[in-house]
Structure 1
Amino acid sequence: METNRNTRILIGILILIILTLLLNNCKNVFFPVEVEAPSQTISLDQAQRLQEEYVRTRSEIVNKTLGFEDTRDFWFSLDSVEQYIRYVRSESKKQGLEDLGLRIFYAAYPEESKEEWPNPGFSTVIIVPTHGKPDLGNGFFPSPPVQKTSNVKAYNYGNAGQPPKKVK
């Protein structure tokens, strides 16, 4: 009789442990964690003003030079960006790289490579992983982290706005 009671208590404790582990792993699903915005975020109104300034001061020059209205916005799914960040973290960890970041470059698809690229002649952006701390000794504008020269791939192939979209 005592053995039965001890077995039930042990099973009960195991069930409680398993339930605790399951609930702890699922807490973000049932109780979403609120995340603070990074200090670099701006309002959509501010973003719209910045885009309007780009259009006012640069867009016409670029379009006249190219002879067509170029792309100036790019869309990447949140899932693909999160996957890319996980990839960068994983590959960087294998190489012992620290102080990770992302650098975004303006780029353009070559016109002569119509088979290789999705939008020949149009602008694009590429995202390149970086590592290393910025040099804060350059006054107001610190130099950016070192660009990786490792085997971590860059990121491209977002959907470009044709015609360009406005921030809304």
Structure 2
Amino acid sequence: MEKQPGRPTQLITKKFAKELHLNFMKYRASIIAKYIKKEDANAVWFSIEELENYISYIKSKGEKKGYDVKGIHFYFGVYPEEKKYAEKAGLMTLFLTATGKRIKTPKTAGIQTFALVHESDDTDIEGIEPMNYGSIGRPPALSY
């Protein structure tokens, strides 16, 4: 029997989510639109399959590279104003980067021990590619 996932502690109400999005549209999106003279992306969508695949990929690749993958940073970015980015050119995006700690296997007097030592902070893992290219919510803007 498969174990049921626990309820995440970071859940928020739909009402608060709507407030957060309205604040973004009021305090950030309007300023950005005025500055870039067009409506910008206000949401990014990835399928469950894409996210699960990326998580599996970074765990596997991280292990091979000597990292204990612990999380994902979500970074905001902006596509270059180049034709190859088509309708995404100049618009905001969100990309994901694996984070974790390097696992070191200590060696004592030439004898290898199997104890693992972890670095103290989770950092972006340089040797694992970030993920991008979700579907963006822009004109007409998505509203939560």
Is TM-score (shorter-chain normalized) higher than 0.5? Answer: yes
TM-score computed with the length of structure 2 as normaliser: 0.79
What CA distance in whole angstroms lies between the structure 2 residues aligned with 1:41 and 1:87? 26
For 1:55, what is the secondary structure of its paired residue?
Answer: helix
Structure 1 residue ranges without an equivalent (≥5): 1-26, 134-143
Residue deviations 1:130-153 (CA, integer Å, cap 9, x gap): 1139xxxxxxxxxx7311122x11
Residue deviations 1:52-103 (CA, integer Å, cap 9, x gap): 1111211111000000010110110001100000000000111121152100
Aligned pairs for 1:92-103 (under 5 A) are: 92-103=62-73
Specify which structure has the bigger relative contact order, considering alpha-carbon pairs within 8 angstroms and separated by 6 or more residues: 2
Shift in alpha-carbon separation, 1:62–1:146, aligned structure 2, 3 A = same
Shift in alpha-carbon separation, 1:159–1:118, aligned structure 2, 3 A = same
Select the structure that is richer in strand: 2
Letter in 2 for 1:59: A
- 1:77 aligns to 2:47 (yes or no): yes
For 1:98, what is the secondary structure of its paired residue?
Answer: strand
Q: Which aligned runs of 4 or more in structure 1 are off by greater than 6 angstroms?
A: none
Shift in alpha-carbon separation, 1:117–1:107, aligned structure 2, 3 A = farther
- 1:161 aligns to 2:131 (yes or no): no
Structure 2 residue ranges without an equivalent (≥5): 103-120
Letter in 2 for 1:154: P
Select the structure that is richer in helix: 1
Query: Which residue of the partner structure matches residue 115 of structure 1?
Result: 84
Query: Which residue of the partner structure matches residue 59 of structure 1?
Result: 29
Q: Which has the larger radius of gyration?
A: 1
Shift in alpha-carbon separation, 1:97–1:129, aligned structure 2, 3 A = same
